[in-house]
Structure 1
Amino acid sequence: MSTRSDSLNRRSALLLGGCLVAASGLLAARIPASAQPASQPARIGIVGAGNIGSTIGGLWAKAGHEVMMSSRHPEELKGLVEGLGPKAKAGSPAEAIAFGDVVLIAVPYKAYPQLAQDHAAALKGKVVIDAGNATQARDGEVYGEVQANGIAAVSAKYLNGAKVVRAFNAANYKVFAKNAHREGGRMAIPIAGDDPAALAIAAQLVKDAGFEPVEVGPLAKADGFAMGSPGFGLDLTAEESRARFGVAR
């Protein structure tokens, strides 16, 4: 008899496999090509229902994806999910991780060690979009790790086994809310990761949220747009962003 874990693994494998099909049909079976509802939308678990989680989650819900917002007290998210529309629901972090073909991590960076302790097995093999930033005043010892080793290495440590893509961490949530689907050249979102299929999925979800992804390179390159770096807080078009990070189209 198939186990629940087997089912989740099969679903993740099907999603990842879709990325390797024809470029013209990237993720057509799972993710819409534009910010319009799709017949087979992606399921996205969002760990953290604060400013970034609710902003990006709301954009995905409006694009037709199914999202599960989560916190340790999901009953407190009733008003939030009602405001995001019928594609949104609430759950615990464990439920959101199990729900999602893709998982967005949007919690304070000091929570990453506990996140790893509680959910490492469930996150293994998942496409994880990591939107966290480390700040000295809030994140204590983990901030020290980031200063010593870089945020890419520290995220890889605590999200070990996941297919990590750094994205949606290079600006304040208010910037995202203001610029989603803007006219006259979409705002660029730098992304970095080591898994090509995960990068393709993250890039499509960036587009669905109303932005233009700019693939900066492997995960180590994410240090170049972390909070406190010269690449943080830039409101650029994709062309400007590629020039800034020195990457080709």
Structure 2
Amino acid sequence: MRSDAFHRRRLLGLGLALSAGLLTGNAQAEGAKPARIGIIGAGNIGGTIGSLWVKGGHEVMFSSRHPEELKGLVEGLGPRAKAGTPAEAVAFGEAVLIAVPYKAYPDLSRDYGEALKGRVVIDAGNATQARDGDLYTEVKTNGIGATSAKYFPGARIVRAFNAANYKIFAKNAGRNAPRMAIPIAGDDEAALELARRLVSDAGFDPVLVGPLKDADRFAMGSAGFGHDLSAPELRQMLGLAP
């Protein structure tokens, strides 16, 4: 048993309605300073989670190589949402969510790896054999946490928001207790604290699974992937301390 000490279809209209206002500026309501979050990949996961963060009181820059294509998304979310290029999103965010196909990681590393050093990176990517080829093999051999760390050396990586389909996140964000649990894993304690806060402000309960190497326990294809569970249920399933 492990210790709990370590645990673009663009959505215009967002099908979220974001739970009809269930999220009402959490960061501000609790007196915490809103975070600045950059998002690389404003697709299904990036658009969904980023929108939840905006509704939770944070400042979010969604990015694209063609940021004008994001106009409808950001206008629908209000003044806390912005659009920019990936480079601008990296510079903007004290945390950066990476939500792109895993096969793009080598290119992201080449283009933005240096700028990501020292930043909190919320890594939501999954590797699939049909799409990602040799990278999938690398992940299967070395683990997804170690592989992400290889491509973004010096980044303070936390694996999160990868363990379910975006539709599940959109459906369950901010629901009445018990909230849906989001497994996370990372090695940097300060990065984990920020990730816990961002998971909570998106309308979920964070569950620390362990250090970054333990991200394999909720990677796509693992026993910990694809569940809609409360935090106690997820801890029990993964054999974590209550």
Q: Does 1:88 align with 2:42?
A: no
Cα distance in 2, alignment partners of residues 61 and 234 from structure 1: 25
What is the CA-CA distance between 1:247 and the residue it aligns to? 1.9
User: What percent of counterpart residues are identical?
Assistant: 72
Q: Kindly provide the CA deviation profile for residues 199-233 of structure 1, in whole angstroms up to 9, marking residues without a partner as x.
A: 01100100000000000010000000000111000
Cα distance in 2, alignment partners of residues 139 and 83 from structure 1: 33
Give the aligned partner of residue 9 of structure 2.
none
What is the CA-CA distance between 1:243 and the residue it aligns to? 1.1
Q: Structure 1 unaligned segments of length 5 or more: list them.
A: 1-31
Give the aligned partner of residue 43 of structure 2.
50
Cα distance in 2, alignment partners of residues 205 and 172 from structure 1: 18
Task: From 54, 60, 66, give the equivalent of 1:73.
Answer: 66
* Contact 2:95–2:119 (CA under 8 A) maintained in structure 1: yes
Give the aligned partner of residue 222 of structure 1.
215
Q: Does 1:211 align with 2:223?
A: no
**Closer, same or farther: CA 99–246 of 1 in aligned 2, 3 Å:** same
Cα distance in 1, alignment partners of residues 105 and 132 from structure 2: 10
Query: What is the aligned length?
Result: 218
Q: Kindly provide the CA deviation profile for residues 21-68 of structure 1, in whole angstroms up to 9, marking residues without a partner as x.
A: xxxxxxxxxxx9936556731100001110000000000001110000
Give the aligned partner of residue 187 of structure 1.
180
Cα distance in 2, alignment partners of residues 245 and 73 from structure 1: 41
Q: Mapping of 1:143-222 within 5 angstroms?
A: 143-222=136-215
TM-score after normalising by structure 2: 0.87
What is the CA-CA distance between 1:102 and the residue it aligns to? 0.5
Q: What is the root-mean-square deviation of aligned Cα atoms in Å?
A: 1.6
Q: Structure 2 unaligned segments of length 5 or more: list them.
A: 1-23
Counterpart of 1:34, as a letter, is N
Cα distance in 2, alignment partners of residues 174 and 36 from structure 1: 26
DSSP-derived class of the 2:26 partner:
coil
Counterpart of 1:227, as a letter, is M
Q: Kindly provide the CA deviation profile for residues 113-140 of structure 1, in whole angstroms up to 9, marking residues without a partner as x.
A: 0101111110000010000001112112
